[in-house]
Amino acid sequence: MFILNKINLMTALHAMSSASPAAILSAAAISGAAIGSGGWYATHSFRGAETPPVTIGSQTTTDKSTGFSGSTTPSESPKPGAKPSDTQASKASGAPAVKTGSQASSPLPAAGGSQAGGTNSAVPAAPTYASETAYAAPAFTAARVVDVYSQSAFNTAWNAIQPGDLISVHGVTFSGEVTLANKNLAGWAEIHFDPATKFVGVSTVQNVPAVWINNDSYIRFYGGDISDSASGGQAGPGILVYDSSYITWWGFVSHDVGRDGLDIFSVNKANSNLDFKGEVYHWGLNLAWDPHAEKGTGLHGANLGDSNYGMQDSRIALYAHDGAAGAGVEAGGASSTDFFKNNTIYLWCQNLTMVALSQTGGNCLQFWGENVTGNVIKYLEAENLQGRPYETGGMYSGQSLASNTIVYGRAANTNLNQKINDSIPQNVLWDYQFGTIFEDISPTP
């Protein structure tokens, strides 16, 4: 494992095309230490290149969707504990149970979101996180369903995954670092984790993720409980993604982790066309992973960009709550080749309690670094924060945020830390430095 304070970020990351997550995480963490903090367009729908028809068995499917489609309610999720048809022999052996042809069908899990809004016949209901993230699940017709009941059976199914596959995971507890790598498919496949499926990480104190998605494309994940429970919350991040495109993961919960709940970094190419929607809480439990002078300010619910080639043309929806370290989400570019651009964000933060004395923490969303352009924050709600709902004090000198927009923002009981370290007044909720456009925000300032 690398020693955190002895790595030059750019040299290290360029040398890491096959490096371990521990090495990459250690190098990426350095990028924000010196400054102390940390597409998808409003008028256009996002549509990727059409994928070719895929024939598996007797069924041909064509899926044109990227995972971003519409704003209607997705189909109903399966009832918790429901089991598909299978044989007792496949359960006992742990081998995948494979269905093809007319047997291959599975409902998509619901999009999630726990905050509800009221209705009024005269006045439209105010938007909520739940209403704004209730976009429709993309259409998918499985050509083959593979039911798995063990980690080894899942590994077999993953190694053989092909377009049109639906891998349905039932009650599996994944231990160790689960590596999902080098699957660049020609069409969509899906993996559904039922409510009893858990990822518990490594059992020793190592800076490695519970789940590592590396160089994958055209795969959708649904569900999953991710933590570092095997190490008592002391290992690395919950989910680490890099060098991937056209990856969807909805309905995950990442919690009780030593580092960040979700990391999206890049080593050899930008991450693009990602679609993540989930929940993060109790991150940053091992302050040893933070290279910042003020420990805890560099560990976040999600850390996006912050590497060689950045993140673009993606959508992130997160409910980030009950975090005692860092921010709900930090995003930015660590170098001239890095960027965070043309992304759409939906964010709801509650109970962020980091009290930063010399750096920054307790913010819902904080931008930092350089090349943060063209991003649309469609919805931002924040309650009970030591910091701001929106913070930009970590941006480099000479940078502009004038192409970034907060469409709708609401905050209550924020800016509680009287020592907010910034060049604007402590009571300013929505950081206007660098020129961000604000459309509908309250309260002001």
Tell me the per-residue pLDDT of 38-78, one tens digit each, with 9 for 90 and over: 322 222 222 233 333 333 333 333 333 333 333 333 333 33
Q: Which whole number is the average pLDDT over 21-31?
A: 52
**Per-residue model confidence (pLDDT) at position 19:** 55
**Per-residue model confidence (pLDDT) at position 11:** 35
Task: Please check the confidence at residue 87 and state whether its pLDDT lies above 90.
Answer: no
CA distance 47 to 65: 7
Residue that is written with structure tokens 């995003």 in the block? 331
Q: Which whole number is the average pLDDT over 203-213?
A: 97
Instruction: Give residue 247's pLDDT band: very low, low, confident or very high (50, 70, 90).
Output: very high
Q: Check: CB of residue 41 under 8 Å from CB of residue 342.
A: yes
Residue 344, classed as helix, strand or coil, is strand
Task: Please check the confidence at residue 102 and state whether its pLDDT lies above 60.
Answer: no
CA dihedral 391, 396, 400, 406 (to 10 degrees): -20
Nearest-CA neighbor of 178 among 274, 67, 252, 113?
Answer: 252
Nearest-CA neighbor of 144 among 158, 160, 164, 159?
Answer: 164
Nearest-CA neighbor of 445 among 404, 414, 422, 420?
Answer: 414
- Top pLDDT among 148 and 7 is at 148
Domains along the chain with CATH numbers: 4-43+136-442 (2.160.20)
Q: Which whole number is the average pLDDT over 332-349?
A: 95
Tokens of 168: 């349905």
**Per-residue model confidence (pLDDT) at position 363:** 97
387-439 pLDDT, tens per residue?
999 999 999 999 999 999 999 999 999 999 988 766 889 999 999 999 999 99
CA 199 from centre of chain: 16
CA 340 from centre of chain: 14
**Per-residue model confidence (pLDDT) at position 25:** 56
CA distance 265 to 340: 11
Task: Please check the confidence at residue 205 and state whether its pLDDT lies above 50.
Answer: yes
Tokens of 343: 């992304």
Task: Please check the confidence at residue 97 and state whether its pLDDT lies above 70.
Answer: no
**Per-residue model confidence (pLDDT) at position 445:** 73
360-375 pLDDT, tens per residue?
999 999 999 999 999 9
Tokens of 398: 């000479």
Distances in whole angstroms, Cα of residue 133 to Cα of each of 54, 307, 340, 346: 30, 28, 21, 7
**Per-residue model confidence (pLDDT) at position 216:** 98
Nearest-CA neighbor of 25 among 199, 229, 236, 339?
Answer: 236
**Per-residue model confidence (pLDDT) at position 21:** 61
In the chain, the amino acid numbered 170 is H
266-289 pLDDT, tens per residue?
999 999 999 999 999 999 999 999
**Per-residue model confidence (pLDDT) at position 41:** 22
Q: Check: CB of residue 78 under 8 Å from CB of residue 109.
A: yes
Half-sphere exposure of 195 (CA within 13 A, CB side): 10
The mean pLDDT of the chain is 80
Instruction: Tell how strand 311-312 and strand 344-352 pair up.
Output: unpaired
**Per-residue model confidence (pLDDT) at position 24:** 53
In the chain, the amino acid numbered 172 is V
Share of the chain above pLDDT 70, in %: 72
